[in-house]
Amino acid sequence: MAPSTLMWTVVATASAPFFALFLWTYGLPVIFRALSQSIGTTLGWYLRRKTEGRRSMIVRMTEDDEKTFQSGSGSSSDPPGKSSSNTSLDDGWENIEASTAGTSKNGDTGDQEWDGIVGFFHPFCNAGGGGERVLWAAIRATQKRWPKAKCVVYTGDHDVTKEKMLARVENTFSIHIHPPTITFLYLSTRHWVLSSTWPHFTLLGQSLGSLVLGWDAFSLLVPDILVDTMGYAFVLGLSKILFPGMPTGAYVHYPTISTDMLESLDPTSPLGSQGVNAGKGVGLRGLAKRNYWKAFAAVYSWMGASVDVVMTNSTWTQAHIKKLWGPKRTVRKREHPIAVVYPPCAVRELEKEVDVSEESEKQREKVLIYIAQFRPEKNHSLILNSFAEFVSSGSEASKDAKLVLVGSVRDDNDSKRVYQLRLLVNELHIKDRVTFQLDASWPDILQWLRRAHIGVNGMWNEHFGIGVVEYQAAGLIAVVHDSGGPKLDIVTTVEGQPTGFHATTSTEFAQGFEKALSLPDPLSVRKRARISATRFTEEEFARKWLAQMEILVAAKTQAS
């Protein structure tokens, strides 16, 4: 072999590993990305073609239903959707000024003529919880802002008709949805996202299952704008693969996984004693769990970073989503900042139902109330232990004080948990001081809110805390966990003065109870708390929601 040939053979042999590494690091990702984009857009084109007929049918049915509604139950003088039934969201709607975040300008018609389809991905829309209040308030605001737009809800509630669904929304939340411009599309694969379907690797299983559910939704209809209001980031990631030009929005109630969750696995960390997984990151099993969560967090961040407009329900959630999604959002040139849009709470209703005055102060008793489902993370045992410590102090404030635990019992697990809490009450010798109010009706809850002095929340890292807002709106003095939404957003100062107290340990909660029941002028604190609660009304939610929605509508109209 010639020397030159030998030299090139040696160089090629020596360089082969470097070329392979270069191809693996840079070449394969580019090839994979190009293939996935090509396959994704092809599948997206197929889904659009497949659902064109249903889109035309929805547009036609909406127009027919609108004509019927206007000539029947609605009045021609009423704005679309406004019937004789007044609602909390309709009340004060005239005070919501036109947003300047989108294409409208200081009340001009602007893009109010937009008549596209907004898809709301919320498979459990009939659940009746705080997440559903967000969904329906968001739809109502969207209907008001864009009367000709069509709102489509992807749901798995097959056993509920449109009429029954909307009736429950009005009865439960006092929100009136305009019937003609809303359509329900029923998913057949909701079981794929149930925790019971994935007894192991639940986080990953439910997220992969949501991809099946997302494909199910797009097989029914491809909307112009897709908004997830339940936390399925993987569905929004899938939509960007299939329909790169479709504007997407996410309302995040809490991150599927957070850095706090990862840190809580380590028993030596500051958070190693907090949460239901506290200290479980030890040993081989713990190491596997930690690596599994880290890998999942990376995939979750990649999916979430694709979303165009991101809203979070609290400052705490915003901080975690920024940490998880932020760096990749910057790489993908997602320009719009992650916004805090507080969920709508029943503030106005509570202001009407619960009086806060010198007269009502005479009706208040030494009652501490904790309104929360009987779930492990609500940490009822912490509150019971702290209340026992407060009672045993023998202080003047603790005399005749009572604790009322109000919450729903969903299943046998909740029933067992209540039984264990009753046993703890006996062990702590406070049986005559504690009342369990299970599955209380709203009128019963209102009665307790009128009587109670203190509202308690013991959950670590509550992502927001609608119950705490309701305490404030009812004039209760809050004693809450020193973390999450209750700390950062809700129980804050008004004009430099406190609206409640924060605590972490059992002793700190007991001290908080002592302070709250020893205030020389509790009425002034109650009034400040009520002022604080006005930040969480449905009108405030609608303003902030529309500011973000206008960004999506503008992106769609510009693309068209």
pLDDT tens by residue, the chain, 560 residues: 555 554 545 444 545 554 554 445 544 455 555 656 788 889 999 999 999 999 999 999 999 999 998 887 554 334 443 433 344 444 443 344 433 333 344 334 445 789 999 999 999 998 878 889 999 999 999 999 999 999 999 999 998 899 999 999 998 888 999 999 999 999 999 999 998 898 888 888 999 999 999 999 999 999 999 999 999 999 999 999 999 999 999 999 988 887 667 666 656 555 545 555 555 555 677 677 777 778 888 889 999 999 999 999 999 999 999 999 999 998 888 889 999 999 999 899 999 999 999 999 999 999 999 999 898 889 999 999 999 999 999 999 999 999 999 988 878 888 999 999 999 999 999 999 999 999 888 889 999 999 999 999 999 888 899 999 999 999 999 999 999 999 999 999 999 999 999 999 999 999 999 999 999 999 999 999 999 999 999 999 999 999 999 999 999 998 87
Cross-strand bridge partners of residue 228: 121, 250
Q: How far is CA 320 from CA 255, 315, 366, 548, in A?
A: 7, 9, 38, 20
Do 167 and 126 touch, CB atoms closer than 8 A?
no
Q: What pLDDT, on the 0 to 100 scale, is given for residue 266?
A: 59
Other CB atoms closer than 10 Å to residue 3's CB: what's the count? 7
Domain presence at residue 80: no
Other CB atoms closer than 10 Å to residue 70's CB: what's the count? 14
Q: What pLDDT, on the 0 to 100 scale, is given for residue 89?
A: 45
**What tokens were used for 148?**
């000709």
Domain presence at residue 13: no
Burial bucket for residue 108 (CB in 10 Å: 0-12, 13-18, 19+): exposed
Domain presence at residue 368: yes
Residues 433 and 549 in one domain: no
Residues 165 and 300 in one domain: no
Domain presence at residue 78: no
Q: What is the spatial distance between Cα 145 and Cα 330, in angstroms, rounded to a whole number? A: 30
Number of helices (H), then strands (E), in the chain: 19, 13
Domain presence at residue 480: yes
Helix (H, G, I), strand (E, B), or coil: what is residue 372? coil
Residue 296, domain extent:
257-304
Domain presence at residue 18: no
Domain presence at residue 84: no
Q: How far is CA 501 from CA 273, 491, 527, 532, in A?
A: 22, 7, 15, 14
Phi, psi of 532 (to 5 degrees): -60, -35
Residues 320 and 426 in one domain: no
Residues 155 and 271 in one domain: no
CATH number of the CATH domain containing 228: 3.40.50
Residues 270 and 145 in one domain: no
Residues 298 and 319 in one domain: no
Rg for the chain, CA atoms, rounded: 27
* Mean model confidence pLDDT for the chain: 85
Distance, C-alpha 253 to centroid of its chain? 2
Instruction: Domain count for the chain, please give it.
Output: 3
Distance, C-alpha 64 to centroid of its chain? 34
Do 292 and 437 touch, CB atoms closer than 8 A?
no
Residues 338 and 400 in one domain: no
Domain presence at residue 165: yes
Cα torsion angle, 541, 542, 546, 549, sign? positive
